[in-house]
Structures are given as structure tokens and as C-alpha cells.
Amino acid sequence: MKMQKKTIRLLVMAAYGAFLLASSLLGFDPGKQIGRNFFTFSVEMLKILPCAFILIGLFEIWVKKEKVEKHLGRESGFIGYVWMILLAGTTVGGLYVAFPVAYSLYHKGAKLSIIFTYISAAGICRIPMTIFEASFMGIRFSLIRLAVSIPLVIVSSIWLGNYLEKKIIGYCRENKRVQPTG
């Protein structure tokens, strides 16, 4: 089964490469644009991800699990959500960095609703993005958008986190598995 998945992945990548090569040779403009976009996106990721993974590795080593559980765990209260919005606002690299950070926070003991708040806020509350938006749409628009978005993010994160934690606990009990610590 594992070999079949690997073979399918290789075939898909080969078909994609063949499509890009054929587009280039035959002058198929949409295919050439897809190739340029893929190259540009790959270069952007290679600029950001290595530094982000180094910082995440340092976080894994230097920050104690007890510290994360205290500030972002089950007993953190509302301040945990505030911490996540502040962290998300300063996250560089968007969601490609937010997901590995969220994974690390979850394994350090942060609760699911706080993780969802971080991921959502990383998509809407980043400081550089908000400044860029304010320069085009105006400060008033940006402040209204944040004032509406942030409470909705927190409420939906709490709802989704509570729902999934109940589902996970029920699944673990039904299948006699160890419950996750996060």
C-alpha cells in the first residue's frame, strides 16, 4: 500500500513536470504562467521556511512544556487567546509558518481552541498585512475589520475546539486509546 502511494505521487509529479515542459516547448501560455507561479512560490517558501524551522526548533528546545501549559493550556483563560492574537500578529510568513508553530504549541500542551485562534489570527491579523491594507482601504476600514474579525475568530475557535476535544475524547474511549495531552 505504501509503495502504491509513493508510485502515484511520483507519477503525478512526473505528469506535472511533463505538462510544464510541454507548455514551454509548445508555447502554451497558461502552462508557462503556471510554471512561473510555481517557481516564484517555491523561491518565496525557500526564503522563509528554513529560518522559521530553525526558530521552531529553538522553541521546542528552550521553552518548557509547563510554561506553555500554564499560559496556553486548559487553565489559561481569556489571556491565552490574547497571547495567540499577539503572536499571530507578529508571525512572518503567513500560514506556512503558522501551521508548524501550531503543531509545536499543541505538542507542548496548548489547548485546541487556542491553537485555532492562532491559526485564524495568523491569516487575518498580521501587522504587515494590516498596515498594507490600511494604506489602501483606510485605517477606519482596518480597525472595523479587526474589531469584527477578532471576536468571531475567538468564538468560533472556542466552539470548534470544544467540539473536537469532545469528539477526540469519545473516540479515544471507544477505541481504548490514550487521549492526547494537548
pLDDT tens figures, 43-101: 988 888 888 889 899 999 999 999 999 999 988 889 999 999 999 998 887 888 899 99
Alpha helices in the chain (DSSP H): 2-26, 29-62, 65-72, 78-90, 95-107, 112-124, 127-137, 139-174
Write the burial class of residue 113 (CB in 10 Å: 0-12 exposed, 13-18 middle, 19+ buried): buried
User: pTM higher than 0.85 for the full model?
Assistant: no
Please report the pLDDT score of residue 17 as a whole number.
Answer: 92
* pLDDT tens sequence across 120-170: 999 998 888 899 999 999 999 999 999 999 999 999 999 999 999 888 777
